[in-house]
Amino acid sequence: MSRHSKLQKQVLALYRHFLRAARDKPGFVPRIRDEFRENAALKRSDVMHIEYLYRRGVRQLEQLRDANTKQLGSFSRHTKETGNQ
């Protein structure tokens, strides 16, 4: 099994930082996991996209670390049941 590339290590480090930062703030951890798992499906070769997401993640991490960010909730829309949705 090949070792992690530099970019992969960066992403993993970011994930760790996120989880650590989100420990005391309700609601963030599930969403962080969700986002990372979804984007894990990206191909290794799609470096531009990965780097873009990484940069965005760094900015979001800064905001998460800020003392004024308190919690995460969500608004959801569920449509009416129309049979076989």
Q: State the residues that interact with another protein by CB under 8 A.
A: 26-27, 29-31, 33-34, 37-38, 56, 59-60, 63, 66, 68-81, 85
Q: What is the DSSP letter of 9?
A: H
Q: State which residue, 2 or 84, has the beta carbon closest to another protein.
A: 84
Least separation in angstroms between CB 36 and another protein: 11
Least separation in angstroms between CB 13 and another protein: 20
Report residue 57 CA to chain centroid gap: 7
CA dihedral 56, 62, 63, 65 (to 10 degrees): 140
Least separation in angstroms between CB 1 and another protein: 26
d(CA 33, CA 16): 11
